[in-house]
Each structure stands twice: as C-alpha cells, then as structure tokens.
A and B are shown apart, each in its own frame.
Chain A
Amino acid sequence: MIAENFVYSAPTSLSEAISLLHEYGDDAKILAGGHSLIPMMKLRFAAPTHLIDLKDIPGLSYVREEDGYLKIGAMTREVEMEDAAVVREKYHIFGDATKLIADPQVRNFGTIGGNLAHGDAANDHPAVMIALGAEVEIASQDGKRIVPIDDFFYGFYTTAVQHGEVLTEIRLPAANGRYGTAYHKAERKAGDYATAGVAVMVQLDEQGQCLRAGIGLTNVNPLPMRASRSEAVLVGSQLTAEVIEQAAQMASEDCNPSADLRGDEDYKRHLVKVITKRMLHQAISRAKK
C-alpha cells in the first residue's frame, strides 16, 4: 500500500519546523516515528500534503530528572525510555507499559510525544501520563505553553496541539518518598492494542496512608480516562483490601467501554476491575520497597 504523495521536509531547528507548519497550512503534518501516521497514510485514512519530520532537530530526545520533574523530550523513542537508567530505577510503570507496546521494532521508532499527540485512547501512554499527573509542553510561534494532561485529549485523534504547534516535552512530578507505579493491559496477543489497560500511581506517608493517587484507563472510554472517584477513595485512606476493592469497582463502573472484536462491554468492565486491583497492589508494594 502506498500513501498519497506529499512534500517532505526535515528541518534542523524547532523554529524552522514551526514556520514550515505555518507556511504549508492546515494539511501539513508532523512526522515523528511515523508508526501511527504512516500506516494511516498507507490506508489513505490520512493524506497530508506536507510532512515535517522532526528527526533532525537536536534536543528533543532526553529523559532526565530536573527541577522536581521527570522530563521526557517529545522525540524520545520507546526503546530509549525502556533503557533509561532513571526510569528503570524509579518509574517502573514505563517498564511495564513499554514492554506491552507493539514489539521491539515498533518501539525502536515510535516516540512518546507521538504516542500522546496521536490522540488515540487505545494507545498506552495517555493513561500512564494521566496516572502520573503529567503536563505537556507545546511550542508555537508565540512561545511555549503548558497543558495539564487532563486538558490535553479533545476527541478521537484530536488533542490540545493546534495547527502550527509542536509538542516538545512531557513532564511529570518526580518520584518522591514512598512512590510506586504500575501498568498492565489485557491484550489478545503480544503487541496488540489494549482490550483494557490500567495505570496506577500511589504515594504513601510513613504510616502507609495514601497521600496521592492517580489512575488512568486505556481503551475503555472514548477518551483516555482518569478514574477520579477511585482516586478520591484512595487518598487519605490506609489502602486496605476493602478500599482497593471499592476503588476498582468504581473504575469499572465509571468507564464507558464499547463492544468490539476485543470483547463485550461487561467483559471489559470486569477486566478494568481486576487489573485496577492488581495494579494497586503492585504499585503499593513497589512504594513500600
């Protein structure tokens, strides 16, 4: 399958990329890893007139802790996230998630920025970033702005990234104190999109009381979803088995899965409940280590 033709450019600076986006107008698109966009172009679901490849722009690929945040450059590839020492040591959720995203070849190219900017509730990083309370940095001709992850996803394939803008960084509050995270998704086969996925972050105080909690859900709602009611019952509690059960139950009630080849609605709600429970236990045990 061959895409419709387009004009390709590979600018070497962010400002050049932004001015090209302006020059080319609405049908220009950014190309990151291309592992969502190129398949869509081959199927002619997308037919941009111009592709602006970010690969030659220096300084968009990094993972580092700085100023109380974990900062992730938009062009950081999944494999670089998987291999980053700081991630392996403190942010186990990315190890959990990346292992389940597609396969090694796709992870060699797919970027974290592209995974979010694609605006697909079936992708795994949106729920992860919701759980972690991330913010997204977006650059335009007018400078940079910061969008909280809860305001980032607008609809199917649409996000806060407007025409003429480039997503440049994702940042999340750095791991602090007794902090634990976990992600799992049910999938039909290795590398499939989620039947249902759950991302969890908890922070505990010395007595084991929950100070902060984040829960994000993959592919069980039209938009990537925060399980807010579940978070609310966790925060301030001692995270007993009953509280965890209640939070998991609420997540399964609050999501809106649709029936498809991956399963019917009841099955997906059941998965959300089971996985939320397991991931809470996993995140809590990691926080206590």
Chain B
Amino acid sequence: MEITLTVNGTEHTVQVEPRTLLVHVIRETLSMTGTHIGCDTSSCGACTILVNGRSAKSCTLLAVQANGAEIITVEGLATTEGLHPIQEGFHLNHALHCGFCTPGVMLRAVELLEKNPNPTEEEIRWGISGNLCRCTGYNNIVKAIQWASAKMQNKELPSTEPEFV
C-alpha cells in the first residue's frame, strides 16, 4: 500500500505492506535510526515517537494506521537555533548513560510538558511509567524534565549540580 507520512516536517510517500510496523518504516525505509527498538512488545518505550502530537509506541502501530499523520522523532527535536529544552535538560543533568532509552523518554516528556507544563515529581514519574531505563536510573531523568519544564516557562532554572546521596 502507498502511504504518506510527514516526519519532522518532511512529507514522505512510501510503499508498505499492511503488516509493516511504523518503527520499521522510520528506521529502515527512512533511515532515521534515532528511534530505537528495545522490547518489540510495547513494554519499554524505546520506540516512542509523537503521532499527531500524541506519544506512541511505534512498535505497536502499523504504518498504515499512521497514514496522513504528522510524526516527530528525536531527529526532529533540535532546530537550527539549537537543542530542544528537553535535550538540553538531559545533557545538563546527566540524564543518560548508554542513551538507548533517551529518544523515547524525551519524546514522551515533550508530550507530558505540552499537556502539563508544570508537572509535580509524582506526575512526571507516572508520566514516564511507560519508559524503562536500565542504566541511568530515573532520578536524573526526572530532574532533566523538571529543568526543561522551567526552561520552557522562562522560570528560574534548577541547579544541575549532581546530588550525592
């Protein structure tokens, strides 16, 4: 089948089998490998992207379901002006170690902050409950999201000094 996807602002018309998963079109057909496959069973969130603004596990969507959709992947976060605040937040707060989960967590966080610009720590933790990180631990990820929240609202930025506990 022929489908059209707008990925990070660029329209792509591609041929897919109905059974092709969206994540495979993004990674293999469009060669954007920032979207990762961790579990392939909708559990880990590494494949999270935005589909019409909604965070989605692209290993559990058929590409045909996204026909006509606007898609944002990690490659679409930075602009010519620089990094997206969420990327800056991850960078400054040491919120990644191996980085495998990072694209998915960041895109999930983008939707979270869009809907709830000033989330509590608890709301952040529930908000990223579909994303597993196996090496950083979640504390710095939460700090990174809090930092991005402050930055996006032009508020005073929280300290990025590491906490030793």
A→B interface (CB under 8 Å): 1-8, 10, 31, 34-35, 38-39, 41-42, 51, 53, 55, 79, 99, 102-106, 108-109, 190-191
Contact = CB atoms under 8 A, between A and B. Distances in A.
B61 interface: yes
Contacts, number: 76
A283 B42 CA distance: 33
B42 A106 contact: yes
10 contacts: A6-B18, A38-B61, A39-B60, A53-B65, A79-B54, A103-B45, A106-B42, A109-B61, A190-B126, A190-B129
Given A35-B60, A191-B129, A108 B55 contact: yes
Contacts of B129: 103-104, 190-191
B21 interface: yes
Contact of B18 (A8, A35, A103): A8
A51 B17 CA distance: 13
B130 A191 contact: yes
Interface residues of B, number: 29
Contact of B62 (A1, A8, A99, A104): A8
Contacts of B65: 31, 34, 53, 55
| B60, B64, B111, B126 pick with most chain A CB within 10 angstroms | B60
B40 interface: yes
A3 B18 CA distance: 9
B60 A38 contact: yes
Contacts of A6: 18-19
Given A1-B40, A3-B19, A38-B62, A105 B108 contact: yes
Interface in B56-84: 56-57, 60-62, 64-65, 67
B62 A102 contact: no
A227 B130 CA distance: 32
Interface of B: 1, 17-21, 40-42, 45, 48, 54-57, 60-62, 64-65, 67, 108, 111-112, 126-127, 129-131
A55 B127 CA distance: 25
Contact of A34 (B40, B62, B112): B62
Nearest to B43: A191
A10 B40 CA distance: 25
Nearest to A2: B19
B56 to A, nearest CB: 6
B21 A2 contact: yes
A54 to B, nearest CB: 11
Contacts of A31: 65
A15 to B, nearest CB: 22
Nearest to B42: A39
Contact of B130 (A38, A53, A105): A105
A6 B19 CA distance: 7
Contacts of A39: 41-42, 60
Given A7-B18, A190-B126, 20 more contacts: A4-B19, A6-B18, A8-B1, A35-B60, A38-B61, A38-B62, A42-B40, A53-B65, A102-B130, A103-B130, A103-B131, A104-B108, A104-B126, A104-B127, A105-B45, A105-B55, A106-B42, A106-B60, A108-B56, A190-B129
